[in-house]
Amino acid sequence: MTTLLYQTDSYLKEFSAIITAVDAETRAVVLDQSAFYPGGGGQPCDFGTLEVAGVMYPVEKVKKQGDDVLHFLGGTEPLPAVNSASHGTLDWARRYQLMRTHTALHILCGTVFRDHGAKVTGGDMDPLKGRMDFEFENMRAELVNAIETATNLEVQQGRDIRVKILPRDEAFQIPDLIRTKINLLPEGIMQVRTVEIVGLDLQADGGTHVKNTSEVGRIKVVDYKSKGAINKRIYIEIE
């Protein structure tokens, strides 16, 4: 079981860990703890390096498998042994861009839900750009411009972002905790991580975020499309 360090500290750039398993066929190692985000919820996995006994391995992919996090190592060096001590370092520039982007999408989601009552039907992101789908029957330029203005006002408010891990029963007493059209939380998940933009938004979420909306930067809506009768897509970029 890998302890997920990023869940309580998204700003952790480096960490030490013990290798608990090695898969030679896929060049993947499991660590007892990790700050690498393994991907999920539309947020891509982290990249970086893992140093073991003086050998620097590039971490080219990270993936969650059950309770473990697999770190796929590039290069041609022989794989490290189980129980080896290691030191992980994130590609921080990329991670921080993803944190800003993920928070920007939550600001967009919270603003649209507050002002229009529209739920999310999908989303995806890359560093400094992303898209989110909403339950809207109609989408027009005036509405999109109003949404862009409202989201940037929330950025300028400098709202704090708070992360908590709650028992499932307690978490689901929070109104509108699940903003997606479909509840994506499996029944077996007994603890729920929540991300709150104070005064704007509170959702169940497993990804990484900045500490304050002021870190996001300007949110620019660069396009919008109809993806169905009641499914409209908004594309954003972060400046």
Handedness of CA 210, 211, 217, 219 (dihedral sign): positive
Percent above pLDDT 90 for the chain: 80
* Interval 57-114: pLDDT, tens: 999 999 999 999 999 999 999 999 999 999 999 999 999 999 999 999 999 999 999 9
Distance of CA 208 to the CA centre of its chain: 4
The C-alpha atoms of residue 83 and residue 87 are separated, in whole angstroms, by 13
Which range, 97-106, 111-120, 224-233, has the best average confidence (pLDDT)? 97-106
Asked if 156 and 108 touch (Cβ cutoff 8 Å), the reply is no
Average pLDDT value for the chain: 92
Does the structure show a pLDDT above 90 at 171? no
Q: Quote the Cα angle for 180-152-234, to 5°.
A: 45
Percent above pLDDT 70 for the chain: 94
For position 191, what pLDDT does the model report?
81
Higher-confidence residue: 167 or 104?
104
Q: How confident is the model at residue 181 (pLDDT cuts 50, 70, 90)?
A: very low
Considering only 133-137, 162-166, 168-172, 178-182, which range has the smallest mean pLDDT?
A: 178-182
Distance of CA 174 to the CA centre of its chain: 21
For position 169, what pLDDT does the model report?
77
Higher-confidence residue: 59 or 121?
59
The C-alpha atoms of residue 108 and residue 237 are separated, in whole angstroms, by 12
For position 161, what pLDDT does the model report?
97
